[in-house]
Structure 1
């Protein structure tokens, strides 16, 4: 991607949706931005989500009974549950207490309408069809991913609970795979998977954190997994055949997988799908030579004759110059290349452009300013200097990513990049689409530590 001129994409975005009249046609929802560190009254880190619409309206979401430490907005997803072509929003609050069960976590479902989003359902483990039970400290709602299904099948919502204790293994993690029927009152059913489940065919270990990252029901990450004695090397459970319930565990010790499983690599810290390599796997703690935590991205997607991902593909670092490269910058200690991933359809129909967040990238003397690299993007990169905003120490630009090709399926990349460290941690989101703009919180008061942009979601093609 070329250096992009700054234009005012959202100069009029200043009205809270509650004050707006009902409209005959519901405007598209542009994005939902997580603010998990938002203080509400005296309740620190209760959390909130800011929603932006194409007509310039805004809406702030938070539960009516918020509490300190809920961290509502840690994860967000935008989908259409009931099939009315209006965007609905799902929000994770992993610090939410369920009754007297502290930090069990909850997921909030909001229904879209011409007057904005309205609370629809609260999903907690052990009730309403959600498999459980609620468990203290499980952090249900830490990660979210959804699959659209078809006109005759339910929506699938995958929810991570990475602090779930499985058997006697503390923080081994769990994943709930939920089905939501297409209706004004969607019924919820689901399956809870742990590493002890027959489908995963493994054994839960303390600190594995299964569910810290998920990509639909097909890829479930356990970035804290100990692999051949290397604590925190990480692993991912991949459903290589969608017609079969069994998963295959992959790691950097899988035959032909580039790299070596090492302590603290965090293989699976981020996940994304992108052609032609299938599943892209972030390994932000990977050491590149003597460069600690420089980061790597592995792939698992060379396909068999049935088109099913079957074996490891190439790996990438900021030193890669071969196929998919060159990649801007160079590997440096603490870059954490691979901390976030997203993709959009490139101009060549057989290849996606994969975006890789590098939130620890130093730009000149500006430490941890952050960068986004493009793989199969001709060596292009995004920084705040060539998009919008000013590079500052600790911005961590590239901590979260959303990408797509805009509405209508036209080739027009639309990219949202989170910089949750902007303005002493108040946070920002940079929007790139035939220009660039920087968004900061406009509903409520931006404050240090809010983390605006820690998570984000949008309905992009």
Structure 2
């Protein structure tokens, strides 16, 4: 049985604070969509960052940290979950440029508690305090990536946080990941572990520039897209827990036996991750050269899942020149497309054994419009999404497909619900296209959209 989703709907009037809902909706826990705006200037502080929250009952809210500073980049990552089990969505926000004491750009994670009156700051999580393993380290960029599991009545919520600029010994920017437990409570006591490539669980050795944690899929798949593989700098690797019953990870790359492609400098294998049937783990390789086409992009898969639902072996790979399985893929491979920069998936029906996988190609040129961006569907009959085919007008530099969220299954019609970020829209002010029973385009309504805000850099919502 697929999980039922909660729909995101288009909303109306712009408010700078949470506005009251109509009485008939007041008792309904509001569904939220969170849109990161890491380039938002606050007062005289450039790139302090913000998050816009849109509720299904028509309200808006803007979030930003107290005591904000230039370069905090609050909103670089967002994750929706329910920590305390009250069926009201809570929110986690990453601010990888936040200073922690004297540690510049160490990074922080903000936990907001949901209520009938909106989201309220609950906890600030930094390394080395409050149960978060650390210590806080200058330049670590803790909070660059987030992945949340909501937990249940018997299991705590889990939050995986990437710090891809963490230094491991003398290995600068080797990266680290913390896996945090958030018990179901009105005041959860945070605990967790930290993983680096030197950790026994990963069984590897940290190298400068690996950037472990630049992408995370829970605690069982950790991307290190800067990893040097057989002398190829930046070829990239992913650490996967093959057996969920043990702590050990296996490193996979394009040089793993049976994996399509070859590890080459700058491929960025592991830049994006998603879990989707039937091929298990989907791995973005946006820097892959397709023939002579530099950075055209590719997506690898790590095989059919075993009985525990964990990927077990290499599977097929996809480019925009692929015809199957799951194809054909719309468009054609071109230099700079960066196909595989973002990934998401949804089940087309309740009993489907195959998910539709969405692949962002934010560098796609559409006619003479450079870097307009595109989203391809695998196992979707060769369909694709562009701004012109959904909502909006294609413009140079929109980079539609830079971020993705997808889900399905809220009602009997099983219509997909998709959110696509276009952070380059309107000179970098940014936009989000929402596809659900039609399509609409969102632009920042809480505050003034400005060039460089990058609205839509990060997205999350309870879509299924």
**Residue 304 (structure 2) aligns with:** 302
Residue matched to 2:149? 147
Q: Compute the displacement of 1:148 (Å).
A: 2.7
> What is the CA deviation profile of residues 282-338 of structure 1, one whole-angstrom value per residue up to 9, with x for unaligned ones?
000000000000000000132346553211000000000021100100000000000
Runs (5+) with no aligned partner, structure 2? 1-7
Residue 207 of structure 2 aligns with which residue? 205
Displacement, 1:25? 1.3
1:15 corresponds to 2:11: no
CA 1:114–1:229: 2 relative to 1, 3 Å: same
Q: Where do residues 102-181 of structure 1 align in structure 2 (5 Å cutoff)?
A: 102-181=104-183
Counterpart for residue 5 of structure 1: none
**Corresponding residue number in structure 2 for 1:320:** 322
Please say if 1:421 is aligned against 2:424.
Answer: yes
1:90 alignment partner, one of 89, 92, 101: 92
**RMSD over equivalenced CA pairs, Å:** 1.5
Give the distance between the partners of 1:176 and 1:9, measured in 2 at CA.
Answer: 33
User: Is the CA contact (8 Å cut-off) linking 1:98 and 1:104 kept in structure 2?
Assistant: yes
Which one of 27, 31, 34 corresponds to residue 32 of structure 1?
34
Structure 2 distance, partners of 1:359, 1:34, is 17
| Matched residue, 1:182 | 184
SS for the counterpart of 1:423 is: helix
- 1:273 maps onto 2:275 in alignment: yes
1:399 to 391, 397, 402: 402
Query: In the aligned structure 2, how far is the partner of 1:19 from the partner of 1:323?
Result: 48
Who is 1:460 aligned against?
Answer: 463
Match of 2:5 in 1: none
Q: Distance in 2 between matches of 1:150 and 1:238?
A: 24
Cα shift at 1:12: 1.7
User: Partners in 2 of 1:76 and 1:304 — Cα distance?
Assistant: 30
User: Judging changes above 3 Å, is the alpha-carbon distance between structure 1 residues 58 and 304 closer, same or farther for their aligned structure 2 residues?
Assistant: closer
Q: Distance in 2 between matches of 1:210 and 1:285?
A: 17
Alignment of 1:222-237 (within 5 A): 222-237=224-239
3-state SS of paired residue (1:20): coil
Q: Tell me the matched-pair count.
A: 454
Secondary structure, aligned partner of 2:377: strand
> 1 CA distance for matches of 2:268 and 2:67?
35
Contact 2:19 2:59 (8 Å CA) reproduced: no
Unpaired segments ≥5 residues, structure 1: 1-7
1:433 aligns with 2:436: yes
The correspondence for 1:330, drawn from 329, 332, 353, is: 332
Q: Distance in 2 between matches of 1:19 and 1:9?
A: 17
3-state SS of 1:312 partner:
coil
Change (3 A) 1:409 1:245: farther
Q: Is the 8 A contact 1:15 1:56 kept in 2?
A: no
1:366 to 2:404 alignment: no
Rounded Cα–Cα distance in structure 1 between residues aligned with 2:30 and 2:150: 18
Matches within 5 A, 1:33-112: 33-112=35-114
Deviation at 1:388, TM superposition (A): 0.2
- CA offsets per residue over residues 5-46 of structure 1, 9 Å max, x none? xxx953524234434379641442231000000000000000
Distance across 2 between alignment mates of 1:366 and 1:454: 21
Judged with a 3 Å threshold, the aligned counterparts in structure 2 of structure 1 residues 263 and 118 are, in CA distance, closer, same or farther, namely same
> Which secondary structure state, in structure 1, belongs to the residue aligned with residue 313 of structure 2?
strand
Tell me what 2:4 maps to: none
Which of 442, 447, 450 pairs up with 1:444? 447
Is the CA contact (8 Å cut-off) linking 1:273 and 1:279 kept in structure 2?
A: yes
Matches of 2:132 and 2:391, distance apart in 1: 42
Matched residue SS, 2:80: strand
Secondary structure of 2:318's aligned partner: coil
Taking structure 1 as reference, are residues 409 and 230 closer, same or farther at Cα in structure 2, changes over 3 Å only? farther
Q: Hey, what's the Cα distance between the residues in 2 that align with 1:443 and 1:149?
A: 31
TM-score (norm 1): 0.96
Normalising by structure 2, we get a TM-score of 0.95
- Name the CA distance, whole Å, in 2 between partners of 1:277 and 1:286: 20
In 1, Cα distance between the equivalents of 2:192 and 2:367?
49
